[in-house]
Amino acid sequence: MQATTVAIVTGASRGLGQALAMGLLGPDTYLCTVARTRNTELAARAAQSGAQLQQIQCDLADPAAAEQTATRIMGSLPTDAQRYLLINNAGIVDPVGQADQLLQASAITAALTLNITSVMLLTAAFVQASKPRQADSRILNISSGAGRNPTPGWSVYCASKAALDHYTRVLACENHGVRAVALAPGVIDTAMQHAIRGAAPADFPNVAKFQQLHEQGQLSSPEATAARILRYIVRDDFGDTVLDDIRNYD
């Protein structure tokens, strides 16, 4: 069956990425996911829904692997879809620690590669592949409030998300014929949040705040957030606000 929508989602093995991928499955969709591990639940759901699914196992924190994956994905996309979506969701908060303790270049480099370099690589390949097709092409970069507000202990994460925001603004003003948004998704109950709550206060002074959010049930579920994002990404005004927050919408 011909796909009317082609969607690419990174970080789809769990959490928000998995929920986004699940929500995109449908008989008229070609879905390509990128994650370090294969998602058997997603594969089973795709078979039930009649969706076309390609799962690519790749560690996007490895620059060479990220580059190869970007080229591979864009060379295999259906050419006659009506809409093309790229959702750059993969990200990592580590390394967590005060700025004067960030002494391991490998940890910093891996985080920056995953959070921003892989986004640039996938986006460049996506734009090159989708532009000749003159279809409705949209890029959604999952950002964070941490990129817009300094958070002690999150130097690397804040810096990478701030870079992601500004990169998205540059992409949008270059006018490549694609709509691009950097979207803060709010605080979600994911494995990342679990790791954050386990951080040492000396490394992350705001840990008590996140523990309290969890205890008070103020974290959104991945499924609820994904549903809101998928409604957002097909809006007619998508791209009008380049730096956005899903909490501004129902």
Provide the token pair at 159. Answer: 């810096």
**Which active-site residues does the annotation give?**
157
The Cβ of residue 192 has, within 10 Å, a number of other Cβ atoms equal to 17
To which H or E segment does residue 237 belong? none
Q: CATH 3.40.50.720: does it fit domain 5-188+221-248?
A: yes
Pairing status of strand 179-184 against strand 83-88: unpaired
Each residue's pLDDT, cut to its tens digit, for the chain (250 residues) gives 578 999 999 999 999 999 999 999 999 999 999 999 999 999 999 999 888 999 999 999 999 999 999 999 988 888 889 999 999 999 999 999 999 999 999 999 999 999 999 999 999 999 999 888 889 999 999 999 999 999 999 999 999 999 999 999 999 999 999 999 999 999 886 667 767 787 788 877 777 777 776 677 767 899 999 999 999 999 999 999 999 999 999 7
Q: How far, rounded to the nearest angstrom, does the alpha carbon of residue 170 sit from its chain's CA centroid?
A: 18
Choose among 158, 25, 1: nearest CA to 9.
25
